[in-house]
Structure 1
Amino acid sequence: MDEVLAAVGPRLRHIRQQRGCTLTALSERTGISVSTLSRLESGQRRPSLELLLPIAQAHQVPLDELVGAPPVGDPRVRLKPIRRGDATVVPLTQQPGGLQAYKMIIGTTRSEPDPRTHEGYEWLYVLSGRLRLVLADHDVVLKVGEAAEFDTRLPHWFGSTGDGPVEIISLFGPQGERMHVRAKPRDR
C-alpha cells in the first residue's frame, strides 16, 4: 500500500505537466491550495479521495489513472473446445476445484450406454436435441429445457438418443455440492 501511495505524487506531477498545467491553474480549477498540490506531488502529503477526485475531474482522467490501479482483467472466459470422438466439450469455468461448468455437444454415434461411477455430483440441462440418460436402473430421455441432477457414485451414462446430436450444459462438483436453479426469486 505504501508503494502505491508513494507512486501517486510523481504520477500527479507527470499528468499535470503533460497537460501543460501549472500548480496555480490546477489550484484554481480544484479549489486545492498550491502548497497542498505541491506537497501531494512531492510525496510529503498523503493522497486522499477528497484531494484526488477534484484533480481527476480537472484533468478529465479516471481516478484509476491517478493512483495507478492495475487494469481489471478481461472477464470473458476464453473458450477452448476439446474434441472427444464425436463429442465437443467446452469448459465454461477456469478455476480448478469446486463446481465446474461445461457446454457439451454430443454426436449421434455416442448412443450406446457405457455406465461409469466416480465421486461427485452432476447437473445436466438440455439446450437442443434429446439426451438419453442411463442412471442406475433408470433409462430416460430428456428434451429441450429439461434438467436432471444425480450423484455420480451411481452408475451413469448420457449421450444422444441416436436421432441427432444433443447440446447440453453440465455442472459438475465434488461430492456434497448440489446445484439448484430457481425459476423466480423467492418472496422476502
Structure 2
Amino acid sequence: MIEQGGLGQKIKALRTARGIPLSVMSERTGYSVSALSKMENDRLGLTYDKLTKLTGALGVDIGSLFTDTAQTAVHAGGRRSVARKGEGRNIQTGSYDYLYVSPELSRKRIVPIKGRVHAATLEEFGPLIRHEGEEWIYVLDGVLEVHSEFYEPEILESGDSIYIDSRMGHAYLSKTPGGTEIIAVCTEQTDSLFYGDPPAEAVRSTDAPAAKPRRRKPKTR
C-alpha cells in the first residue's frame, strides 16, 4: 500500500523542536504559510523537490524523515542497507509514486528512488520543478518524455537514461498507458540551499514554440 501520512507531522516536529516559526520557514523555502501548514498536516503532497527545500530549511537530511532515531556521522565505510523487493518508504503524489529505498540510513550522499511516473502532459504535471543537487534517471519500463528549461524534450525508452543538474527546471512525463517505471538517483545537497531566496519555481517560456521531443533513431541490422 502506498502512503504518505506522517511525513508532514515529522517535519512539523522537527521544526517545532528547532523553534522555527512557520513565517521563517516560508522565507527559507518560498512556500506560503498556508501551504506549509497543509504540508505539515499531510493535506498537500510532498514531492522530492518539496522535501529537499523543507529539510534544507530545517538543516537536516531527507533520511531523518524516515528514521525514528538520529544517526551520527560515520567516518569508516561500514554502513550498509539491504533492500528486498518492494521494501522502502512509499509516497504517492499526483505525478509520481515514489519508493524511497534504504530510508533507515540518514546522511546519505545519494537518495535512491524507484518510481512510477503518471502525469502524461505538462498541464497535468504543473510547473517545472527544481532543487539542489543532480540526478540520474533510468527507464525500467515504458516511455518517458523529459522536459527541461534549457533543452528540447527528450524521449527515453526502456534501458535509456539521463543525467541532469537538478537546479534546472525539469519534468518527467509518461508516454505509456498505466505509467512509466523509473529508477532515480539524486544527490543530497541540503547544506547548499540558500535560505531566503525567492521560490525556485521554474518558468515556462511563452516566447518560443514548444519543441518536438527528440526520439532515438531506430536500430538497423
Rg larger for: 1
Q: TM-score w.r.t. structure 2 length? A: 0.41
**Relative contact order higher in (CA < 8 Å, ≥ 6 apart):** 2
Bigger share in helix: 1
Bigger share in strand: 1
